[in-house]
Structure 1
Amino acid sequence: MASLKQVAELAGVSLMTVSRALNHPEKLSEKTYNHVKKAIDELNYVPNFSAKNIRGSTGKTIGILSLGTATTPFSVEIILAIEKTVRQHGWHSFVINTFEDDEQEMEQAAERLLSYRPAGIIVARNGLKEVKIPQKLRNIPIVLSNCVTNDIDVASYIPNDFQGQFDLTELLVKKGYKKPLCMYIPEMAIAAKERKNGFEKAWFNQANPQTPEQHFMIGTPHTYENGAKPLERLLASNPEKLDFDIIVCGNDRIAFLVYQLLLGRGFRIPEDVAVVGYDNMVGVTHLFQPALTTVQLPHYEMGKQAALHFIEGRVTKEDTLIDCPLIAGESC
């Protein structure tokens, strides 16, 4: 990472002139300012605000590039876990929240992070997805939480969705369910593929399994109403009879709509048909009556392990799968 001294040397000016260009450009001539600015751009120099704002820290600071994580209740535990973990080990952290659909905003957020000279940066996303790494972050220590990338080789802490769905499906097999209706999240989602594979591995491992009816969420945008459409169509064609005994929902939000569709037509859960979800979504799951059987996304543990990656000096640059615990309710 370039220093103020290197900028001054390249521009052929004093450190004071560079400082003025950064803090009081109006005190310089346009020619001098442009000369310094050119050197700053060539070296990709980022002002060191940490010298002002975190003076006295020993470099034990982690920056968090939050891709919607800090503003989404669903995944905010990632941020909570990072903050608690760094405090327990005498480190510090700070968060800059942005949105990945704006490349310029992402680059600006990366620059703000670097201005505090953190020991490392955690890129955390509000849902598992492949992300683009800002150019400015590609040559410094970073780690990913709840996301992956093909831009660089980097450690990622992500949910073990295969294991989560496998364990849930094994429970369904043990309980004797025979005719599943599966309604997954969009097919291109990383989690959807892993969960489908986990379901099929456990389901077809039993003796004489029936072929499940499987659907992926379709439609633009990918709304959760669309996720429940297969059930809605089946109920419309035969409102008094169900041809399945268990509905496997791609997430708890789809399960919430499934409850409404079933209960609104007089079907009992789980006596007439069982329902299971996925995610253990914060603030909603406990509202299901009967309580929903689901799988916990390990947001807290993903944040904790990402923080420990820097604190413990881990050197791995691979994906680390974090187990997704089964949450047994009364819906199956």
Structure 2
Amino acid sequence: MASLKDVARMANVSLMTVSRALNSPERVKPETLARVQEAILHLNYVPDLSAKQIRSVGTKNKTIGVLALDTVTTPFSVEITLSIEETARAHGWNSFVVNMFSDDNPDDIVDLLLAHRPGGIIFTTMGLREVHVPPKLLMYPCVLANCENKGEPVACYIPDDEQGQYTAVQALLAAGYRRPICLHLPINHLATSRRRKGLERACREASIDPDKLEHCYMQFGDEHYRDIPDILLAHIHQGIPQFDSVICGNDRIAFMVYQTLLAKGISIPQDIGVIGYDNLVGIGNLFLPPLSTVQLPHYEIGRLSTLHIIKDDDRKERVLVDSPWLSRESF
């Protein structure tokens, strides 16, 4: 990575002039400022905002930079970012978060994060997804939390969605339910296909052909949660459900299912069993009856990702993190 000296050398000016160009450009002659700025662009120089801190603690900056893509806009972000901070502090490290939203310029946000010269980087996203990790980040120890890289292998920690769904459906079928309707997340979500694999495995073990079940996929976009009642009602004829249970793609779908069934006088779990997924923060136990669901392991993902940086782990493999089954009273 280019240094201040490299910029000064290319622009043929002193270090003091480069510093002044960065911090007080109005004090630099226009032609000199132009040369410095051209050198900065050519060398892809990122100002070092934490050089003083690095000098005070040695060559290893014990700070983790968290690049959060849409993450802090969701309740789950609390689990990931809290886990990162608590784990870092417990090992004598610090952490900071830089948020990146869909309309941000990724290069600008990455430069902002790198300006603090972190000792390692955790790239995290809202919802399991594939990302393009900016090459600049890979010059540092880097790990992905709740996402996977589309390019070269990068260490990542993600939920074990297939096993989580398998465990949930296995419990439902073991309780005697045989005709579930499956209300999936959008078909293009990474988690959707993996969870369906788990569902199919549990069904086949119970001698149920999963292809003969009713599978409905939600459209992309939060506004389509309002489509769930009509989808469910299409499978209720003259007040009688054509299913004995509902496998929900997440707890928000389960919330719509609860409202729809209860409004029709259909009792949970006496008439219909329901299972969710995610264990939506602060909500699962507020369902009446409490919703049986799968815990997305965001806290554990944050902890393991942080330890990956602290331990200077150089492995670049994908790690599946256990998603625990939470048995409650909805079936």
TM-score, normalized by the shorter chain, greater than 0.5: yes
Q: Match for 1:60 among 59, 62, 65?
A: 62
Alignment of 1:1-332 (within 5 A): 1-52=1-52, 56-58=56-58, 59-99=61-101, 101-104=102-105, 106-207=106-207, 209=209, 211-218=212-219, 223-235=224-236, 238-332=237-331
- TM-score, normalised to structure 1's length? 0.94
**Secondary structure of residue in 1 paired with 2:168:** helix
Q: Distance in 2 between matches of 1:148 and 1:103?
A: 20
CA 1:219–1:234 in structure 2 vs 1: closer, same or farther (change >3 Å)? farther
Q: Distance in 2 between matches of 1:81 and 1:56?
A: 27
**Secondary structure of residue in 2 paired with 1:76:** helix
1:177 Cα deviation (Å)?
1.0
Return the letter of the residue paired with 1:81. S
Once the two structures are superposed, residues 226-252 of structure 1 have per-residue CA deviations (whole angstroms, 9 ceiling, x without a partner) of: 3454203223xx141111111000000
Please, what is the CA RMSD of the aligned residues? 1.7
Q: Distance in 2 between matches of 1:225 and 1:116?
A: 43
CA 1:116–1:234 in structure 2 vs 1: closer, same or farther (change >3 Å)? same
2:292·2:329 contact (CA, 8 Å) conserved in 1? yes
2:228·2:257 contact (CA, 8 Å) conserved in 1? no
Return the letter of the residue paired with 2:180. P
Which stretches of structure 1, 4 residues or more, deviate above 3 A after TM superposition? 52-55, 219-222
Q: Distance in 2 between matches of 1:198 and 1:61?
A: 38
1:134 Cα deviation (Å)?
3.1
Which stretch of the first structure deviates more once superposed, 85-94 or 146-155? 146-155
Question: Structure 1 unaligned runs (5+)?
Answer: none
1:102 Cα deviation (Å)?
2.4
1:218 Cα deviation (Å)?
2.3
Q: Distance in 2 between matches of 1:86 and 1:2?
A: 28
Q: Distance in 1 between matches of 2:142 and 2:230?
A: 40
1:151 Cα deviation (Å)?
3.0
CA 1:114–1:73 in structure 2 vs 1: closer, same or farther (change >3 Å)? same
1:69·1:79 contact (CA, 8 Å) conserved in 2? no
Once the two structures are superposed, residues 283-305 of structure 1 have per-residue CA deviations (whole angstroms, 9 ceiling, x without a partner) of: 21111011100000000001111
Q: Distance in 2 between matches of 1:57 and 1:94?
A: 17
**Secondary structure of residue in 2 paired with 1:65:** strand
Which stretch of the first structure deviates more once superposed, 47-56 or 170-179? 47-56
**Secondary structure of residue in 1 paired with 2:143:** strand
Work out the percentage of aligned pairs sharing the same amino acid. Answer: 48
Return the letter of the residue paired with 2:151. D
